[in-house]
Structure 1
């Protein structure tokens, strides 16, 4: 934080993925000062009890079962998930697409439904509630980007976001899927630039960035540089998995990072120098 009342936006945007950044910046800060205290929100006095802990875990399990039964994950075969991660798109495009399909992106409609004090209307068009399907398919800006792209796709004719990706993963070559993943990433990027940096939407600029990323993928493929990442697998319950990586240059470490996640894939901690 940059002082007690403001997040250090520049530092956070430099370190974290845009989806994580938006979560962090949405956390309200205490404007009144005071010391932090440990409190359990499921008892009246804030003290943890094993009974309320057990009830909380049972509620999470019930919620997970209910959400998985209605999510795309329950209808998408494992081989199609593997295809999504192995298309050759840049890792950040893979991750953003995966988050969009699973409904994990912090679109304004979801934030509003979870009682976050925000306007639920679409940041790009301002007319409709910003759901995942709207921001990537129904918003006029998204429709223009899809149609003007090399895919020349009229997404308004596709019944749903899930149907769009089922079609891509079942019927299209990996190169086409990779381009669609890059489009998803750039739509989300321009949305965040408009929201957090007072940027503007120019379809031609978005497509230029898409083609630039596609060219980067082609260069990596020719040079034999891997562009996809190993699919992350959940650890057992009550286990936290720690992933870390480093990059080297001129015989020295020039990049280092780690992330810890629980069995639901929730981030418990992350760090980088």
Structure 2
């Protein structure tokens, strides 16, 4: 570690570990002192389980980054078994990812932003960004795209991709309706999430955050601060080593709290678009994995404010932070901006107030 809390001594790590340095540097460090501990990286909480060891061996040993919560996200889908097995086999590397259908769907812009390093990383990113219903629909489109590819390669016939995709989506929808009637599942009340940006109360600073998974093993954290009138007060972009999508999103929230301390804010409202991060913060989630050190930091930092409130907003209500996270920082570790702001940011902030 370096003399600065939460930062690795990068040069020392590279000198000692060589080609394995990036794996270590990708692990976020806590801001507060903690005892060193070992953790099992194939479960979300870092605790070893026989089940996770079975999956790790099944998908090819220590090179896999499949975690238990990803598997749960697949098998918990209210979708046909064939669709679940398609996603499962994609994780194991048996299938590729066709993209021809996306241009005809409403998800084209979203899929462009998703990680391309592996199907697993893309699934994890989507799981944190969209609702379960949307995730099932997107999985059906992936399934249809793969079917189109196989038909062309093995049957020498190119089907109508749009018609085939519509058929798969109808099949999935019919299955959901059928399974609901057969199992008579009690209708659960769906948690409401904000879809529009809203101004905070007078005296409160609202802080929207987002994370961007970039290239060359780097990610970026975006923070946007606005007052009770919706006026921009500051924005910030910080470059960090690339890690899991949820881990980077959690780092964005922690970074927002650190900035709020630096700026002297006392009453803050923090709003990311990663629902899993909000749930972990509110439930005081504990575990051995590095991400839980970040959650611990967040819960310690929030006690330093007079008021600190967290909420989730859908991506459509977080467009300014989404743009700020993609801003260039050059060789600087972070870029903090005050008035005047780039016109693109101002335009999006104005649209939030008019919607």
- Which protein is bigger by CA-based radius of gyration? 2
Instruction: Using structure 2 for the length normalisation, give the TM-score.
Output: 0.32
